[in-house]
């Protein structure tokens, strides 16, 4: 028996979700997007089986409806969904990165006896739109489900089973707990990265050469500040209270650090850095966390004509895709002159093996 899934919003996440769900031959995917061109492309690529003429037509026969839209759009549509014609046992979910506003908006559905289970696949890409959709986007990434209190466990299991073909690491959390943790490891780091870039910008006028020095480790440290400002404006507003709490804790930490510098105790300063190093080095490196990051390979190569083409040919011969490649000019605490970025851990590890087999260039994973 076919499982009818409707995906509302066919961007990177919605498109990738369609591709991964269709690994299950019993799943029939209907798609709807405000752009008819996007729906046509999704149909041509086999992301969806049916193009819906409207949200109503996409929803009326669906066993599961997933909103893969920005949080503000999802909130608006959830307030409208109670008036739609829906199957009595339908499950509605979403892919938003903040759950508080969405779970609040879903209360009107719960009052009607409609099952809503929040969702957040913690993954992304350096590209956007349906053309960037990939079947493996969710693999090894955490996919969080946030069921409201009282939802039947069998409904959570149904959604869990449906999402199994994504090969994501499915976990169940309370929505408030989810928003607090994503504030710690994702949302707040974006604020810090942007503030560091702001400090650099303010001081560049008096020290113009500092911009060139920032092309090394500083650029990598603040990579996430290059994310879509509209999306991060919305996330900051939606998770404002948790971010304010994180900011208070950060200010306390900075005051502690300031006092440590005033005291200038070498033992305390060494301990501070040693504790940070140990905790950071013990963090998992084999799975995608809350922040989307590319996976870098630093390669120590000689500076001679054609060296980059030699390296990229090795990867091309092994059919390993790269997302970025650059030469590092400021190399304090950085291994290797050439940095190649990959989308998955597996691609990076295959690249390191291929490099070791084909050349004498040394490489280092970060």
* Domain locations along the chain: 3-173, 178-281, 295-365
CB 51 within 8 A of CB 43: yes
pLDDT at 309: 84
Domain boundaries 178-281, CATH class: mainly alpha
- Give the whole-angstrom CA distance, residue 31 versus residue 252: 48
> Taking the chain (366 residues) in consecutive chunks of 10 residues, what is each chunk's mean pLDDT?
93 95 96 95 96 92 96 93 91 95 94 95 81 88 93 95 94 95 92 92 84 74 82 90 95 96 96 93 66 70 75 86 71 60 81 79 56
Query: Whose CA is closest to 17, among 170, 139, 114, 154?
Result: 139
Radius of gyration over every alpha carbon of the chain, rounded to an integer in angstroms: 23
The set of residues, in sequence order, having a beta carbon less than 8 Å from that of 253 and lying 6+ positions away, is none
pLDDT at 28: 97
pLDDT at 264: 96
pLDDT at 295: 75
CB 239 within 8 A of CB 185: no
**Structure tokens, 212:** 């060139």
- Give the whole-angstrom CA distance, residue 337 versus residue 13: 34
Q: Does domain 3-173 have CATH number 3.20.20.70?
A: no
pLDDT at 330: 47
**What is this structure's pTM?**
0.77
CATH number of 295-365: 3.30.70.260
- Give the whole-angstrom CA distance, residue 233 versus residue 245: 18
Other beta carbons within 10 Å of 251: 10
- Give the whole-angstrom CA distance, residue 248 versus residue 149: 30
CB 225 within 8 A of CB 196: yes
Backbone conformation region of residue 133, classed left if phi is above 0, alpha if psi is from -120 to 50, else beta: beta
């Amino acid at each position: 028996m076919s499982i009818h899934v409707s995906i509302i919003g066919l961007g990177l996440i919605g498109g990738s979700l369609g591709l991964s769900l269709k690994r299950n031959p019993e799943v029939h995917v209907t798609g709807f997007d405000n752009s008819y061109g996007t729906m046509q492309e999704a149909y041509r690529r086999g992301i969806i089986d049916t193009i819906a003429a409207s949200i109503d037509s996409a929803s009326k026969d669906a066993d599961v409806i997933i909103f893969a839209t920005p949080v503000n759009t999802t909130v608006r549509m959830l307030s409208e969904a109670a008036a739609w014609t829906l199957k009595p046992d339908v499950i509605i979910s979403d892919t938003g990165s903040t759950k508080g506003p969405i779970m609040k908006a879903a209360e009107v559905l719960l009052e009607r006896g409609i099952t809503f289970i929040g969702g957040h696949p913690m993954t992304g890409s350096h590209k956007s739109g349906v053309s960037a959709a990939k079947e493996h986007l969710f693999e090894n990434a955490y996919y969080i489900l946030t069921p409201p209190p009282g939802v039947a466990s069998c409904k959570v299991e149904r959604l869990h089973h449906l999402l199994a073909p994504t090969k994501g690491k499915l976990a169940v959390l309370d929505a408030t707990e989810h928003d607090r943790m994503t504030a710690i490891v994702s949302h707040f780091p974006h604020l810090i990265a942007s503030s560091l870039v702001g400090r650099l910008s303010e001081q560049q006028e008096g020290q113009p050469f500092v911009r060139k020095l920032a092309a090394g480790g500083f650029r990598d440290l603040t990579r996430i500040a290059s994310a879509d400002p509209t999306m991060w404006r919305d996330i900051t507003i939606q998770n404002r209270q948790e971010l304010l709490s994180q900011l208070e804790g950060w200010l306390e930490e900075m005051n502690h650090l300031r006092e440590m510098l005033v005291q200038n105790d070498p033992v305390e300063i060494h301990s501070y850095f040693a504790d940070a190093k140990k905790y950071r080095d013990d963090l998992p490196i084999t799975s995608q966390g809350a922040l989307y990051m590319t996976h870098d390979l630093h390669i120590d190569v000689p500076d001679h004509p054609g060296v980059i083409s030699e390296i990229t040919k090795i990867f091309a011969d092994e059919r390993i895709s790269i997302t970025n490649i650059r030469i590092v000019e400021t190399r304090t605490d950085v291994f290797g002159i050439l940095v190649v970025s990959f989308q998955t851990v597996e691609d990076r590890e295959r690249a390191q093996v291929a490099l070791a087999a084909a050349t004498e260039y040394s490489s280092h994973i970060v």
